[in-house]
Structure 1
Amino acid sequence: METGPDSLFLTPVLLLLCLHSSSIRFEVLGPTYPIVAVAGDDIILPCYLKPNISAEDMTVDWLNLDFLDGRVFRYQNSKIIREDQIPSYRGRTSLYEEELWRGNTSLKLTRVQGTDEGRYKCFIKAKSWYDDFTIQVLVEAVGSKPVVSIEGHREGGMGVLCESEGWHPQPELVWLDSKGVHLSAGPPEIHRDFKGFYRVKQHVIVQETDTNRFTCRVQQSQINEKMETEIHLPSELFDTTPWRMTFIVLCCLGAVTVIGLALAVHWTHLASDELRGHYFETIRRHAVDVTLDPDTAHCKLILSDDGKQVRHGELDQVLSDNGKRFTNWSCVLGNVGFSGKFYYEVKVEGKTEWTLGVVIQSINRNESFIPMPNNGYWTVELKDGECTANADSPVTFTPREGPQKVGVFVDYEKGQVSFYNVEDRSHIYSFTDCTFTEKLYPFFNPGGSDSIPLVVCPVDATD
């Protein structure tokens, strides 16, 4: 058979078309196991073509199958298409575009959050062929250390609330007594934020025990993680002893009249008040003279000439950078450090925000910090009508009456820092079992919500 020039030309063309047709067929492959992602980390969802042909002229779609309109990422016509992308993925997804030529269509997902958990489809489409692969993504997040707050008297006991956030998957919250026995508590409240992380909180009513120590534990069995906070409730908070003693006497006698009952309660309270007053006057005998140190004052604070008052100003003052000054928090220290036993009083009347206590001299004054004992701070603050003891696990509570004057007492050797309402001589909060290795300096923050000053008052032990 004769072979003309036209047939010689068509033969390689047909051969190339056949080769092109066969090369366009491919498989989309990826891992057969789930991808486990830690919240906040960056992850890669592997996806590639077999054979390793170029995907530069193909459409690459990544879809989250748990969303109705679930486009996570699209690459088409050699460019990234941002329309119709799920809003929560904006700015967090990308391909390795420099590797598309060899069939690598893996997706990089940054700053993983709870809503990222789900089934992802890697869908690759050429002009006349397509294929896809599905990957399971699991997200793990260990939440915050539980925060415990005191809610006050509830049904013969003390109401306490525990909260923790930032978990994934959904955690379980349990209350335990000092022996590890589960306490009966109200139903947990579960919330999920816009990033898909879980927040859990639960109320419990506890009765006074020999230890008054209770633990809130938040745990997630799927990821084998737990966080817990122990709280010690001072016996003064329960304040039920006089009534219980009166009730026992009433039951035993069986014939106590209303007058007798009233007298019993009255004299019991008198005895309690007398003991409390005697103890309070004892600690006031350790009063020291406290003067504010202007060299430590933040530039927004305004001190009185005698160094006994401090308030928050509106403008930054031009002050020397002496290495002692607070630069990130509106605070000031007393000019003398103490050890042993010492006591001072501060007038807070009319203020809506303040923080008081003691700190060690070597605290970092130039960076943001959390005012807790681990960082050298033993403080109590008032804000939005609630008091918070800034322990390593903060304790929030609502005082029976807002103090007009606060007393701060330190027993250095015993490792205790206590706060009192001077007017009614009641106990506010105590840090116990502390370890001190440096002198302690009085600490003041007048807050920025009002212009009323904190006033260091002279202590008269006969008040």
Structure 2
Amino acid sequence: MKVTQLDCLCLILLHLLHTAGSERFEVLGPTDPIVAVAGDDIILPCYLKPNISAEDMTVDWLNLDFLDGRVFRYQNHRIIQEDQIPSYRGRTSLYEEELWRGNTSLKLTRVQGTDEGHYKCLIQSKSWYDDFTVQVLVKAVGSKPVVSIEGHREGGMGLLCESEGWHPEPELVWLDSKGVHLSARTLETHRDFKGFYRVKQHVIVQETDTNRFTCRVQQSRINEKMETEIHLPSELFDPTPWRMAFIVLCCLGAVTVIGLSLAVYCICNKKGEMLVEVFDNHGFIDFETIRRHEVDVTLDPDTAHRNLILSDDGKQVRHGELNPVLSDNRKRYKNWSGVLGNVGFSRKFYYEVKVEVKTEWTLGVVRRSINRNERSRPIPYKGYWTVELKDGKYTAHADSPVTLLLREKPLKVGVFVDYEKGQVSFYNVEARSHIYSFTRSKFSKKLYPFFNPGDSDSISLVICPVDATD
């Protein structure tokens, strides 16, 4: 049989068509949105049909809500990190052992608010490409609202409600005892660098039969709400007697303090020495005696959140960029920028931390067994005894938060634990003044120093040696 040039050309074309057809594939994934809980790990499914190998292809994952939205790229048998969105570094990966059968699903760890959006899975071979888009919705239930009293305002009492850690953005409403909405000021909303929302709102309330008011924070899309009720004594609404009582108490307090100070001065002069003393809820305490219980505290890098940067000597910690090199372990903080001291104590101990010029910090002690994946408030019930500076406000995280009104901004904070008495106390070192004490706690395990430098500045918390000449 004679083969002509035309026959050869037809065979070549048929071969090319067959080759091109063999490269064709579809990219498939879920049609419903993926709902992710903040802090969890999720899988964004994506696979090839037919189940051919993607090992020699380029796999791109893009977040379409970003202008330069590359979340992940696999190309030439390796991961390409250039041009990746910074917030995804260290949190994305493929199942590389599954690429041979067309599985190009993306694993996204430690989901945060900014991860919400539309994701495109784009697969390219040498002669073909296809893509698929899936939507990710992020759900985060914030903290129980914190209500504080702001004093007399325009014939009533001013209240402030705050809650944080929400996604999507929640709404905040004030209610009276009958569930009727109260007229309040404009809602203030802030979003942190991880995309979580903090809301706060002021309201002025008038005296009622019950004087009970509720702050409710709710998010209808995720069907979640948190609320806090506050009861105001009737005496608060009568400014004249209240102010008179306040003035009388201040005068009595001043006389008492002056008298006690003179007595202490005389006693010290008699002994020929000056003792520095501070006053807390339990009376006078010799501050220098407390400081003699100093312990050497060094930070434990295995417990540090991957956003924290520790000094080489383990005496300083500050907030920085996420470190993708550090591995997760059961000791490491996942959702808070926390780090522990490397030694725990079951006796009296004291340490000092320099906090000057910082705009945010949390200090105290914790049980080592605390849950390091939680985002809720650090209260004694959960193993935390801490004081915090945030948004210009000092707060002691008791079971109900306590707003602290300090005369002077501490430059150095002293933390003292009397283990047998179940007491954790905080002091302004320079002013030799008492800040706050947690009392009547029951300790059964070792307590570890706790540090959180916050994320509003990049200044370090510094563990200082106790100097008797301060």
TM superposition score category, shorter chain reference: 0.5 to 0.7
Q: Is the 8 A contact 1:325 1:365 kept in 2?
A: no
> Per-residue deviation at 1:241?
6.0
Following the alignment from structure 2 to structure 1, what is the Cα–Cα distance between the partners of residues 135 and 344?
57
Counterpart residue identity of residue 32, structure 2:
Y
1:254-288 CA-to-partner distances (Å, cap 9, x unmatched) read: xxxxxxxxxxx9xxx58x969x99xxx9xxxxxxx
Following the alignment from structure 1 to structure 2, what is the Cα–Cα distance between the partners of residues 20 and 182?
69
Report 1:402-441 matches (<5 A).
none
Corresponding residue for 2:425? 445
Counterpart residue identity of residue 237, structure 2:
F
Report 1:388-399 matches (<5 A).
388=395, 390-396=397-403, 398=405
> Per-residue deviation at 1:452?
1.6
Corresponding residue for 2:212? 213
Following the alignment from structure 1 to structure 2, what is the Cα–Cα distance between the partners of residues 225 and 162?
17
> Structure 1 residues 24 and 90 mapped into 2: Cα distance closer, same or farther (>3 Å)?
same
Q: 1:309 aligns with which of 286, 296, 316?
A: 286
Q: Is the 8 A contact 2:172 2:216 kept in 1?
A: yes
Following the alignment from structure 1 to structure 2, what is the Cα–Cα distance between the partners of residues 376 and 166?
20
Following the alignment from structure 1 to structure 2, what is the Cα–Cα distance between the partners of residues 47 and 371?
39
Q: Is the 8 A contact 2:189 2:198 kept in 1?
A: yes
Q: Calculate percent identity across the aligned residue pairs.
A: 67
Following the alignment from structure 2 to structure 1, what is the Cα–Cα distance between the partners of residues 195 and 378?
29
CA RMSD of aligned residues (A): 4.7
Following the alignment from structure 1 to structure 2, what is the Cα–Cα distance between the partners of residues 327 and 365?
15
1:403-428 CA-to-partner distances (Å, cap 9, x unmatched) read: xxxxxxxxxxxxxxxxxxxxxxxxxx
Report 1:237-276 matches (<5 A).
237-240=236-239, 242=241
Following the alignment from structure 1 to structure 2, what is the Cα–Cα distance between the partners of residues 165 and 63?
29
Q: How many residues align?
A: 334
Give the secondary structure class of the aligned counterpart of 2:103. coil
1:79 to 2:78 alignment: yes
> Per-residue deviation at 1:150?
1.8
Counterpart residue identity of residue 101, structure 1:
W
Corresponding residue for 1:122? 121
> Per-residue deviation at 1:184?
1.0
Query: TM-score w.r.t. structure 2 length?
Result: 0.59
Counterpart residue identity of residue 66, structure 1:
D
Following the alignment from structure 2 to structure 1, what is the Cα–Cα distance between the partners of residues 33 and 55?
27
Q: Is the 8 A contact 1:47 1:107 kept in 2?
A: yes
Query: TM-score w.r.t. structure 1 length?
Result: 0.60
Give the secondary structure class of the aligned counterpart of 1:63. strand
> Structure 1 residues 199 and 365 mapped into 2: Cα distance closer, same or farther (>3 Å)?
closer
Corresponding residue for 2:41? 42
> Per-residue deviation at 1:324?
4.6
Q: Is the 8 A contact 1:28 1:48 kept in 2?
A: yes
Can you give the 5+ residue segments of structure 1 that lack an aligned partner in the other structure? 244-264, 282-301, 331-354, 356-362, 403-439, 456-463
> Per-residue deviation at 1:169?
1.0
Q: Is the 8 A contact 2:295 2:349 kept in 1?
A: no
> Structure 1 residues 12 and 383 mapped into 2: Cα distance closer, same or farther (>3 Å)?
closer
1:96 to 2:68 alignment: no
> Structure 1 residues 112 and 162 mapped into 2: Cα distance closer, same or farther (>3 Å)?
same
Q: Is the 8 A contact 1:142 1:166 kept in 2?
A: yes
> Structure 1 residues 373 and 121 mapped into 2: Cα distance closer, same or farther (>3 Å)?
closer
Counterpart residue identity of residue 145, structure 1:
K
